[in-house]
Every structure is written in C-alpha cells, then in structure tokens.
C-alpha cells in the first residue's frame, strides 16, 4: 500500500510537459527493468554450461549486480523519480534565467538535484516508514541506498562537462586495455567500479531508450521533445528556434552520443542480446532519420502551428461569447420593465 501511495505521489510531482512527464518516467522505468532482467537472466549469454552459472561466477561476471537486490531496486527507483518536477526547459535555461532552482544548486545539475531532493524528502516522510524498512534494514543501508540513487540520477545529466569527464575516466580505467595503472587495486574495488559503470550506462540508455526502439516509438517521443523545446522558444525561454537545427542536431546526437552509448552497452558484457538489439535499432533510426528527418521536422512544425491556431481560435471565440453575454446582460439591466 505504501509503495503504491509513494508512486502516486511521485507521479503528482511531474509537471504536464510534452516530454518530461510521468509517461516518460514510466517509459524509462520499463527500460531499466528490461535491461536489469537481461543481467539477472543470463541464460542467453552464458551458454548452456551450468558450471558458468554458479552464484559466485554470476556475481563476478555481472560485477555483483545479480547478488545485490538493493542496487537493482535503486536503479528502478531512480528511473521513476529522475525527472520529477522538471520545468520543461534544460538546465542551461534555468542557469541563464538565474532561476531560484539554479541559485539553490549553484548551476550544477539543477533539474537532477531538484528531482532527487523532492523525491527523497517524500521517501523520508513518516507515511513511508514501512516502505523504507522493507528496502533498508538499518541506517547504513539507507545511506548506501541514497548514494546509489543520487549516482544514478546524476548520470542522466549528460550535458555537465565535469561529470562527463569523470564518467569517461572511470570507463577507461575499468574497460580500456590501453590504460594501465601503477596502483594495484583490490578485486572488490575493480568490481565496484565496473558495477557503477554498468548502472550509469543502464540508466543513460533507458533515459533515451526511444532512440533505440522501433522507428514509430522514436518518432513519437522525438516529436514530444521537439514540442517541449518549441513551446519554450515560443515563450521566449530559448534563443533558437528548434526547427532550424533539429534535423542536423538529431544526426549529431546519434553519432556522438546514442551510437557510442549503444556500443558501450555491448562492451559492458552483461546485457546479452539487448545490447545488440539496442545498437541495431539505433543504427536503423539514424539511417531513417537521415532520409526522412527534414520532412518530419516540417510536419511537426505544421502540426504544432495548426493546433496552436485551433486553440487561439477557440480562446478568441470564447472571449467574443463572453463579451456578447456581457452586452446582453448590460442591455437587459437598462431595459424598461414590461408593464403589460
């Protein structure tokens, strides 16, 4: 009951944005659950030899994730809350506007930190004491759970250069054969670093999962994001009209973020066939967008402008009706009473 209540309360925190809404959070959560299920069900990628599937071997191969239910739940929890109270504009806009949130978080991962703080405050409410105790047996586990959640949500801030640099360095240290360290680390530290990287890439891939799914799914979410930025532009909260850069920007996003991310999912070595599936869809969507993207952008702009025109007409019609009613009331009040 408390879990249901918590999810409903988190859902209420999401604003009615075209893209960053609770539907997006649900989509990301489902993607996280799917990728986790591939880690936890390794039959398809460990082969039929049961000797590969001993608890200790699974623990090592999946960097400890299969034997850590708290980490698994933290990933799902983070996906659910990661965009709570999103304002519909990127962090750069919040910082440029010197918004109250930007001031509170000193311009660093503004939306992400706000989502964590609001959701964590809710989670710590007395109304969810039993839920907390079911997840965390003691204060130490609660601290660790918060660390996992903060790390996961911060991973969705892909625009912060400092965070990006740290993630790249961590990846190189864990998976790049070219990087050698003079410091001998314990197996536990190596395992934990790789687990952290897997979790970061799992949440990042899930946050943009629509780019690695069927074309119609990609198109649907792409239009929602375009609409959100277009609304911000029309409201004077963005300097550039997204229709002017959307086509080329999506190609760059595929080439410099989506495709490398999909390849890293494969390089992590724990997602089985999902990593191939994500990469294949990303490559197909990239090709499809290159061929059809310009027409898609034109159609999205036309659709939004038509819808805006209908709304404007309805609003102006409503005002005319209100004006007419007001005139009728005024005339009625000044008419001579009927003496018949």
pLDDT digits (tens, 9 = 90+) for 233-264: 999 999 999 999 999 999 999 999 999 999 99
What Cα–Cα distance (Å) separates residue 201 from each residue in 30, 31, 116, 122, 137? Answer: 15, 12, 19, 26, 28
Q: Could you give phi then psi for residue 225, rounded to 5 degrees?
A: -70, -40
Q: Which of 51-55, 180-184, 195-199, 233-237 has the highest mean pLDDT?
A: 233-237
Percent of the chain residues topping a pLDDT of 70: 86
Whether 118 and 13 have beta carbons less than 8 Å apart is answered as: yes
Query: From the CB of residue 5, how many other CB atoms can be counted at a distance below 10 Å?
Result: 13
Single pTM value for the model = 0.87
**Residues 287-312 pLDDT 10s:** 999 999 999 999 999 999 999 889 88
pLDDT of residue 247: 98
């Amino acid at each position: 009951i408390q879990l249901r209540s918590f999810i409903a309360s988190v859902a209420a925190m999401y604003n009615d944005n075209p893209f960053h809404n609770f539907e997006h959070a649900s989509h990301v959560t489902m993607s996280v659950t799917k990728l986790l299920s591939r880690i936890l069900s390794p039959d398809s990628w460990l082969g039929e030899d049961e000797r590969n599937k001993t608890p200790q071997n699974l623990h090592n191969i999946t960097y400890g994730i299969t034997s850590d239910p708290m980490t698994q739940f933290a990933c799902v929890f983070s996906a659910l809350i990661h965009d709570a109270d999103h304002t519909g504009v990127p962090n750069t806009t919040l910082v440029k506007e010197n918004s109250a949130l930007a001031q509170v978080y000193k311009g660093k991962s503004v939306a992400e930190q706000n989502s964590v703080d609001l959701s964590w405050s809710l989670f710590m409410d007395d109304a969810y004491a039993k839920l907390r105790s079911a997840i965390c047996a003691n204060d130490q586990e609660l601290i660790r759970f918060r660390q996992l959640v903060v790390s996961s949500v911060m991973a969705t801030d892909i625009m912060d250069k400092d965070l990006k640099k740290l993630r790249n360095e961590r990846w190189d240290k864990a998976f790049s054969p070219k990087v050698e360290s003079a410091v001998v680390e314990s197996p536990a530290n190596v395992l934990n670093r790789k687990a952290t990287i897997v979790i970061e890439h799992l949440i990042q891939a899930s946050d943009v999962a629509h780019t690695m799914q069927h074309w119609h799914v990609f198109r649907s979410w792409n239009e929602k994001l375009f609409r959100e930025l277009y609304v911000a532009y029309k409201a004077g909260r963005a300097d550039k009209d997204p229709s002017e850069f959307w086509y080329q920007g999506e190609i760059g996003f595929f080439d410099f973020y989506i495709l490398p991310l999909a390849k890293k999912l494969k390089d992590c070595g724990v997602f089985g066939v999902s990593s191939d599936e994500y990469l294949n869809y990303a490559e197909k969507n990239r090709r499809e967008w290159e061929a059809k993207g310009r027409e898609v952008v034109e159609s999205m702009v036309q659709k939004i402008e038509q819808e805006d025109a209908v709304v404007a007409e309805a609003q102006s019609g409503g005002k005319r009706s209100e004006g007419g009613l007001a005139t009728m009331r005024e005339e009625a009040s000044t008419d001579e009473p009927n003496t018949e």
